[in-house]
Structures are given as structure tokens and as C-alpha cells.
Structure 1
Amino acid sequence: MNYLYIYIGQLPEYIKFSINSVLSVDKNANIYLCTNKESSYKNCNLINLNDIKSEKINYLTDNNYFKNTNYESNPLWINSLLRILYLEKIGEIYNLDSFVHFDSDIIVYEPFDRLSTLVKDDMVNITQHSANQLIFGYSFFPNLEITKLLCKEVDLVIKNIEKYIKDNLGNPLNEMDILGKIFKSNLNIFNTLPILPYEKTPYIFDPASYGQYFGGTAQKPRKVFSMRIKEDHHIVGREILSKRIKPKMINNEPYVFHNDEKYKIVNLHIHSKQLNKFLPNNYKNYV
């Protein structure tokens, strides 16, 4: 399976743990590391984002609606949105019809082959964060056609962003908000991956809250085992706080318990960036 990493800016040290986790657990993994900075990582197909151009990318770059807002100082917001548009062009140029994509602070514990029954081949498969947000905790793009359709919808929102900002009480929309808007308006684009054990699927995915439960946040890394989740508007966070489910690490791998049954978590979204604390058992250095 193809795995696309997109990072704009200096590559953080922790991304190597994410890439190594994929190569350690998925022997069929083909890594594409897409960045606008130089990298000497091995066992990756390196793509220079400076060579990737499109009308959609240029428009967003030239019309950065985060300027003159409280979000302008943090490039995360514009870069997270740009990476969606890069997915389309990279897929086109490098003939990548299908691929897995997630944020760069993800640790993976299962190969994609074991997840094939949980994804649809005609929709973007993605984790849902809250009622109004989708997040790249884990996603699978099955074909270039659906990737193009999503980017067309994202571009349409961007070009009408003033209306959406007005509807959002004057606050800029981040990429999770925009994906959520599209999810609610077009039921034919997204398939949400299972994130709770209630569906009794063999595996569940982490949008963000399981990783936050285990590892804390960048501002408050977890030093001792204590409740760190406060976001009860997040779907998974609400269930953890209610104690209807219980996440637990067993032999260095994540599970969630419900009604005395355990379910394997495919990935962890480590907001604390301390990915080295959550490596899979068969972890090796490849990059």
C-alpha cells in the first residue's frame, strides 16, 4: 500500500518514528515523503513540494484567509489545508490511484491488508473527530476520481470562504471544519471509519482522543497515568469521559475495552509528539 506523508516546513524529528512504525508493521508499505525541505531519509520516495503546482494550490497560497487573524502566526492552519490539495496533484503526477494518508504524528500498529473490510472503494475513508469535524487520524483514498472530487469541493469552499466565516461567527475554518462541512453537504464523498467498539468491528481507529488519553497534548504531555481528556465534544473523548469505554495499553499495543471485550486500535494520534514512547513491538529503524 502507498502511504503519503505531506509536511510543509522543516521536518520534525518525530516523523521518523511514524514512518518507521508503518514500515515495521506493513511489509507492503511504499512510503512517499512529500516536503518542501531537503531530506536524507532512506527507504522513502522523496517528493519536492516546490515542484508541485496547481491552480487550487496557487489560489489558496495567494488568498490565505488566515492572515490578519489569531491563526496567522501558526502555519499549521494554512499548511494543513494545503496538503489536501497536494494529495490530488501528487496522485496525478506519480500515478498513485490509491493511498493511505494521515497526520505526521501518527503511530501505526496494523498493516493495511487487515483493514480492507473496513473501507469502501468508492469513497474517502476517514476518521471523524466531532459532530462537525473530520480529521486525518487515518484516511484511505481508494481512487484518484474521489480524490479529485474532494479537492474540487474543498476548493469551492475556499473560494466562498467569506460566507462560511460569517456563518461561523467570524472565525476562520480549519481543514477539519471544512471537511466536516463537505461531509454534511455531500453524503457521497466520505465513509467514516469505525472509532468506537459499539459497531463490533475487528479494529477501530483513533481520530485523536485515544492518543491524547495515552500521551497527553503538546502543551501537557502525559507524565503519569491520569485523565487528560477534557474535550467532551469529541466523539471518542466523550465516551472515555463517560467511562463507557476504557483504553488500555497491553504489551505496548493499544486496545479499548467495552463490556469486557477488547478491540485493537489501529493507530494512535500522538499530540504530545512523543511518538518514541508508543512504538509497536516489532519496531525497527528504516529511515
Structure 2
Amino acid sequence: MSDNWTEQHIPDQTGRVAIVTGANTGLGFETARALAARGARVVLAVRDVEKGEHAAARIGGEVSVQALDLTSLDSVRSAAAELRATHPRIDLLINNAGVMYPPRKTTAEGFELQFGTNHLGHFVLTGLLLDRLLPVLGSRVVTVSSTGHRIQAAIHFDDLHWERSYSRVGAYGQSKLANLMFTYELQRRLSPLDTTISVAAHPGVSNTELMRNSPGVFRVPVNWLAPLLTQKPEMGALPTLRAATDPAVTGGQYYGPGGRGEVRGHPKLVTSSPDSHDQAAQQHLWTVSEELTGVTFPAMTPQQTDS
């Protein structure tokens, strides 16, 4: 594997279909742009369709826009139905969209906003689209986590929605830890197959709109010293792009920046916290996620493949 992996290492993506959530700005936009530049047909799955159309126009190529509001499971189900109708095969599902450090809010279903958006919304979208990936040789589900999965992070099964007390940082950490647990449990379920893998990535610290709700202690350095403490979205998107396209990637891997503290740098294989590898907790989270959303995944058994 290259130590200085860049967009130029992305193989030809002609004929591949990629769905990228949260692709109208920041990391998602850069991910979509790079995939389209290599020939992929890219769907920008976004909450604000008008902004999505502007983003699609900037990217060019075979790019379309799909309305998707991860804070509403009705919207996720509607988006999945439309995507299924228009895309009989999907090569890449990139679960990129997210919220970070908002004041306590809830989704349409009453889930804590960060857990509901970052984890449950993507859990449902993946479950409803997975049968479009399973027959496709080389297909991947890439879920974007964060170094925040290590910070005040635990899965609070006794209070998943932070109804007793609320910590913006803790709730974000829970959601990003859930992203990794979902990635690893999904890969375990996919492992009997030879077609689809589940991979995770994180962008390090990127200077994007996601930082707008950061607590004051973080806002000053991010705003004043951004060039020193963060990297541009184009670099922040590289771990996701590598996870999505590098032929050497295998299921269950996790990619992030290779610099000190995984803050900046070219993407490399990284490790996640011991908590993220707790198989009992992964399976419990999966069961709870099914119960909360009413979505179960298709049977993952070997089937005829599409090249």
C-alpha cells in the first residue's frame, strides 16, 4: 500500500454507481467529486436538494441528486425506495453525512439527533439498499467515523437518547463509536460472501461546516489556527476514497490520516478503540437498532454475482 495515497491512485470507476450521503458540501462533496472525476455515476443524497443541485453542477459528469433527510426515517425509506427504483445495482454506498456537537435535539422519531442521524439513519439506509449491493462483485459499504469515537465514548444502552442528561461531546462519541461497531458487525455478517465488504474511515480534523457547533473551547483554535490544526476537505476525504476504491482494501478495515495523532496526512490503515471491537456490544447494538427502526437486513448468503 502506498504511504502517500492521493486521488491519482483511484482506479477507473467507469460503470460504477456510488451513493454518497451529505454530498453537497465538505467531505461528502469532495468524495463525490473525486469519484465522478474517475468516471463513476454518483448520487448526491442530501437534505437540501437545491444545494445538492448546485453541487452537482459544480462537479459535472454523471451526477444526480436524491432527497434524503437522515433525521426522518420516513424520508430515509422514501429515498431508499426511489434509489431502488432507479438503480438496480449499487457499487458503493458511502455513509458520510453527519451532525456534530449540536444542542440536544431529537429526530422525527424522538431519537437523540447525533445517534439518530449518524448511526440509525445510515443503519436504515444501508439495510434498505443492501440487496442492490450484494450481487455486485467488489461492492462496498463505507461508513465515516471519527477520532471522536474515543472521546467520552460509550454506547449508553440504558439511555441511548440522553434523556437523563446530555453531553454534546459524549453523544457525538457514542454515535461515532456506533458507526464503527456497525461497520464491524456488518462485515462479520458479510464475511461468507465474496462480493460486498464493509469498511470504515475517518477524516482526521478537517476544516468543514461540521465544526460549526463545536464547544467554545474548540471553536477558537479551529477558527484562528485552522491551517495549522486542520486539513482541507480534499485531504480529509482521502481516507474515505481509499476505503471505497483501493483494490488492496479488505473488509473490516479502518482508514484515517497517517500524520501524528491521525489529525492530518495521507490516508493509511489505522486502528480503533478496544470498545469498538466488543463483539457482544456490536451484536446488542445491531439488535437494538433493528428494534428502534423496524428495519432488518436481507439474508447474506452467496448468490449470483454481477461483474
Superposition TM-score, scaled by structure 2 size: 0.34
- Structure with the larger strand share: 1
- Structure with the larger helix share: 2
